[in-house]
Amino acid sequence: MHQQTRIRLFDIHSGTGAILGVFLFAVAFTGIAALFFAELEPWERDAARSAMPPGVPALDAALATAAGDEAIGLPSSFFVLLPQEFRPTIMLIHGVHGGVPVWEEFDGTTGAHLGPYAQGAGRFLRNLHTDLHIPGPFGRYLVGFGGVLMLLSIVTGVAIHAKIFRNLHVFRPFRSRRLAWTDAHNVLGVWGLPFHATLAFSGAILGLGGVLLSVVALASFGGDRDKAVAAVLGERPAETGVAVQMASLDAMLADIGVRVPDAIPASVEIGNWGDAGGEARFRVLRDDDLEWFETHAYSLATGELSKVSSVGDSVGGRIYLALTPLHFGSFGGLAMKALYAVLGLALSLVTASGTIIWLERRAQQKAPVAPWLAGATVGAMAGLPLASAAVLTAHHLLPDTTGRVFALGFVCFPVWVLATVFGAWRNDDRSALRALMGATAALLALAPVARLLFDEGRASLMPTTAVAVAEFSMLALAAAIAVAARAVPDRQHAPASTRRRLVAEPLSEDAA
């Protein structure tokens, strides 16, 4: 490649990282927590610690309970999440209050009403990744754009590396600070390249899917919106205005179990409830399959299966369906998620190290950014794990109500801002980093203590295996962060070469 072209690509790569480094780090890091939101539910709530229903979940009983309860009721259209491994309850999503969907939880075995579902730390952190808690679709679009910029960084990063395979095994931690960060950036970036590219691409599609598919659907179907919607979601039966008795949804679930024994019904979407044109659409998937997803539609008037369909019938649809499990690692059990967490941490470190390299490079070129800005950048990055740990600890300190998810926001964002201000005020990025990492380790270790002291099921030290695994992971992570914090060197103990004012190092160090 021509040297001039490489320099321009290098400028794009470093410019993207410098301007948007904190944003890309936030998207990458929150993705790690988002991986485990389902597994965290038993740690968060007593209701999620019960056993899975022995047979077909009591869907009819749950809906009868909801219909007979004046405070809940059943509208014409609603959505039900069926019991899953880490949440063996039935979740009815039946309306919107204050712009937020209203969720009611029912026992998966008896159908008894357990109360409104209070979202907790896991879903809060997951939503921080998927939409940054920005209202409407804009947060999702912003995160999707982050995926595009990450792809841009990956493409330009690969292009500027003249000796990409050499970077697989070159790590020189004891020469200069910039060289250590550069080698770490290159080693982690090259080893994780396929994973990082997959995450960035799938994240871009998932974030921007709404707007992308809307535009291209109009183009594909010649501007016929109804035809495009019908092609993806299927034709919906019209409301007749004739009231009839609804058929048994439990029987429909049993029928699916007989016809597709290895599949898992994940949810059911109800349309025209109580009407002769009523329809129940069960979404059925397989845990170990990337792109197998079917919709089984039943008539609610007769209870008969009317259609089995999947957007996976088309090649593009199959790829599209594979993106969500591919992005969240939900296709290979806990071991796959653990691998995703390690590779996700590598991606976070690649984005963070990219920003630090840029700061070091500016300092060595005698054009340093203001110390407070460098400190604030480090504070913002190290502050996000701290804020996440604070959310986990605060979960069990806050009342178990639907307002808890908002209260978690009042914990997370101020902690993040304070960490950023602390970094700027400390004027020494290393000591700020060490202090923030120490605080993160302490807060993370406090999260299991908070559960023991304040959880509704505190009578039991380790109520379930899932809780034990969650708490062991938190304590192990806290210990690892504490050890890593102690390893951050003081400025006076840094290698001599980093304390000298060096002339600008050649591009080849960053690119080679």
Reference 467, options 41, 47, 38; nearest CA is 41
Is the C-alpha dihedral spanning 254, 260, 261, 265 positive or negative?
negative
Q: How far apart, in whole angstroms, are the C-alpha atoms of residue 281 and residue 217?
A: 23
304 touching other proteins, by CB under 8 A? no
The region of 1-9, 337-345, 401-409, 455-463 touching other proteins under the rule CB under 8 A is 1-9
Contact 451, 394 (CB under 8 A): no
Nearer to other proteins by C-beta: 319 or 484? 319
> Which parts of 221-260 interact with other proteins (CB under 8 A)?
221-223, 228, 231-232
The region of 211-219, 264-272, 426-434, 483-491 touching other proteins under the rule CB under 8 A is 211-219
201 touching other proteins, by CB under 8 A? yes
The residue within the footprint of other proteins, chosen from 10, 124, 293, 298 (CB under 8 A), is 10
142 touching other proteins, by CB under 8 A? no
Q: How far apart, in whole angstroms, are the C-alpha atoms of residue 150 and residue 146?
A: 6
409 touching other proteins, by CB under 8 A? no
219 touching other proteins, by CB under 8 A? yes
Shortest Cβ 442–other proteins spacing (Å): 38
Shortest Cβ 130–other proteins spacing (Å): 17
The region of 113-121, 162-170, 216-224, 405-413 touching other proteins under the rule CB under 8 A is 216-224
The region of 109-117, 203-211, 268-276, 343-351 touching other proteins under the rule CB under 8 A is 203-211
The region of 9-17, 84-92, 326-334, 370-378 touching other proteins under the rule CB under 8 A is 9-17
Q: How far apart, in whole angstroms, are the C-alpha atoms of residue 78 and residue 63?
A: 11
Shortest Cβ 285–other proteins spacing (Å): 18
Shortest Cβ 399–other proteins spacing (Å): 42
* CA 405 vs CA 92, 360, 401, 454: distances in Å: 18, 39, 8, 17
293 touching other proteins, by CB under 8 A? no
Sort strands 78-81 and 264-271 into parallel, antiparallel or unpaired. Answer: antiparallel
The letter for the amino acid at 237 is P
290 touching other proteins, by CB under 8 A? no
Q: How far apart, in whole angstroms, are the C-alpha atoms of residue 240 and residue 276?
A: 6
Shortest Cβ 263–other proteins spacing (Å): 23
What are 106's two structure tokens? 């029912």
377 touching other proteins, by CB under 8 A? no
193 touching other proteins, by CB under 8 A? no
Residue 272, phi-psi category: left (phi > 0), alpha (psi -120 to 50), beta (remainder): left
In angstroms, how far is CA 279 from the centroid of its own chain? 32
SS (H, E, C) 58-123: CHHHHHHHHHHCCCCCCCCCEEEECCECCECEEEEEEEEECCEEEEEEEECCCCCEEEECCCCHHH
Return the exposure string of 225-252: e unless at least 16 CB atoms fall within 10 Å of the residue's CB, then b: eeebeebeebebbeeeeeeeebbebbeb
The region of 90-98, 170-178, 316-324, 384-392 touching other proteins under the rule CB under 8 A is 316-324
Sort strands 264-271 and 113-116 into parallel, antiparallel or unpaired. Answer: unpaired
Collapsing DSSP to helix, strand or coil, 174 comes out as coil
The region of 34-42, 165-173, 210-218, 264-272 touching other proteins under the rule CB under 8 A is 210-218
The residue within the footprint of other proteins, chosen from 137, 234, 303, 317 (CB under 8 A), is 317
28 touching other proteins, by CB under 8 A? no
362 touching other proteins, by CB under 8 A? no
DSSP state of 474: H
Q: How far apart, in whole angstroms, are the C-alpha atoms of residue 118 and residue 491?
A: 46
Nearer to other proteins by C-beta: 149 or 263? 149
156 touching other proteins, by CB under 8 A? yes
Residues 6+ apart with CB under 8 A from 446: 393
Q: Please write down the long-range contacts of 331-338, taking CB distance under 8 Å and 24 or more positions apart.
A: 331/287, 331/288, 331/289, 331/290, 332/288, 333/287, 333/288, 334/39, 334/469, 337/35, 337/36, 337/39
Reference 348, options 189, 127, 202; nearest CA is 189
The region of 315-323, 342-350, 397-405, 493-501 touching other proteins under the rule CB under 8 A is 315-323
Q: How far apart, in whole angstroms, are the C-alpha atoms of residue 302 and residue 305?
A: 9
508 touching other proteins, by CB under 8 A? no
151 touching other proteins, by CB under 8 A? yes
- Give rounded-to-5 percent helix, strand, coil for the chain: 60, 10, 30
Return the exposure string of 481-510: e unless at least 16 CB atoms fall within 10 Å of the residue's CB, then b: bbeebeeeeeeeeeeeebeeeeeebeeebb
477 touching other proteins, by CB under 8 A? no
The residue within the footprint of other proteins, chosen from 56, 187, 301, 311 (CB under 8 A), is 311
194 touching other proteins, by CB under 8 A? no
Shortest Cβ 13–other proteins spacing (Å): 10
Contact 250, 58 (CB under 8 A): yes
Nearer to other proteins by C-beta: 151 or 264? 151
147 touching other proteins, by CB under 8 A? yes
The region of 61-69, 84-92, 104-112, 202-210 touching other proteins under the rule CB under 8 A is 202-210
209 touching other proteins, by CB under 8 A? yes
Nearer to other proteins by C-beta: 286 or 318? 318
Q: Kindly state the number of chain residues that form the binding site for other proteins, as judged by CB under 8 A.
A: 44
Which positions touch other proteins (CB under 8 A)?
A: 4-5, 7-12, 15, 18-19, 147-148, 151-152, 155-156, 201, 204-205, 208-209, 211-213, 215-223, 228, 231-232, 311, 314-317, 319-320
